Amino acid sequence: MGPFTSKHPVNNAFYDTLGERWLHAQDDPVALLRAEGAAKQAWVRRQLERFATGSTAPLTILDVGSGAGFLARALREEGHSVHALDFSLPSLRVSQSRDASVRHLRGDALRLPYKDGVFEVVTSMDFLEHIEDPAASIREAARVLKPGGLFFFHTFNRNPLAWLIIIKGVEWFVRNTPEHMHVLRLFIKPTELAGYCRAAGLDPLAWTGVRPDFLRTAFWRMLATRTVPEDFRFVTTRSLMLSYLGVARKA
C-alpha cells in the first residue's frame, strides 16, 4: 500500500507528550514548527494590515488547533484579544504557562463552543491536515466569524514532492520524529481547500507558499546532524507545491 492509498490514521497523540519540549527542543520536528512560525506570523500580520479594513485593534481572534500557542502569543503581543482552542490539554497548559492573557480552552474544532459571528479573525495553522474532515472544521470557522471576518490557514499540498520532503525528509533528517506525524492522504490540494472555503461562504483572497531556506547553512547542518539549528529559517514563495498559507473572507 503506497502513501496515497494508506488509510493509517495520523498520530496526534504525540503532542500530549511534548511538555516543555514544545518550547526548547531542537532534536524534534517541533523545532521546525517554531522556526516556521516567524514566516507565518509575518505573513499573517501583513494580510491583517491589508484586509482588516475598518477594524481597529484589538481584533477578536480565535486560534484553532493552537498547540503551544506560538501564533496566539504573537497575535496577543500585537494587542489583539486572542482565544486559543486545542484538543490537547497538555499543549494548552504549556501555552498558558507562557501567556495567561490568552484565553485558553480545550475544545473540538468540529463543534466550536462559541456562538455564531463572534470573531473578527479565525486562524487554523498546521491543523487541517491532522483531521479527517477539514471541510467541517472550515464550516465551523466560518460560522463563528463575523460578516467580513478573515479566516487564515496553513497546511500541506498533497503530491509526491510533499511526501518526499515533508514526510520522509523530516523522518530521515530530524531526530525523534514520531511515526505517522503526518500522512499524505490528509494533505490538501489548494484547489480543494479553496472549494471548502467557498462552500462555507468564505472567499479566498491571497495565497503564498512556505518552504525552508535552502540557501542558509542551517539547512545543510540539519541534514548532517539530524538536529534543527536555532538559526534555521523558512521563507515565503510563489510555489504552493509544499506548504502554503492563505486567507479568505466571510461574505
Count of C-beta atoms within a 10 Å radius of residue 246: 22
Q: What angle do CA 184, 91, 206 make, to 5 degrees?
A: 50
Q: pLDDT confidence of 55, banded at 50, 70, 90?
A: low
Instruction: Please tell me the predicted confidence (pLDDT) of residue 53.
Output: 65
Whether this prediction's pTM lies above 0.85 is answered by: yes
* Grid cell at residue 185: 492522504
**194 — pLDDT class (breaks 50, 70, 90):** very high
> What pLDDT does residue 4 have?
66
What stretches of 80-212 show up as alpha helix (H) in DSSP? 89-98, 134-144, 160-162, 170-173, 190-199
Residue ranges and CATH numbers for the domains of the chain are 13-250 (3.40.50.150)
Q: Which three cell numbers stand for residue 92?
A: 494548552
> Could you read off the pLDDT of 107-126 as tens digits, one per residue?
999 999 999 999 999 999 99
CB atoms closer than 10 angstroms to residue 207: 16
What digits encode the pLDDT tens for the residues 168-186? 999 999 999 999 999 999 9
C-alpha separations of 36 from 30, 48, 94, 229, 235 in Å: 10, 19, 19, 13, 8
- Label residues 84-109 b or e (16+ Cβ within 10 Å = b): bbbbbeebbebbbeebeebebeebeb
- Distance between CA 17 and CA 234 in Å, rounded? 26
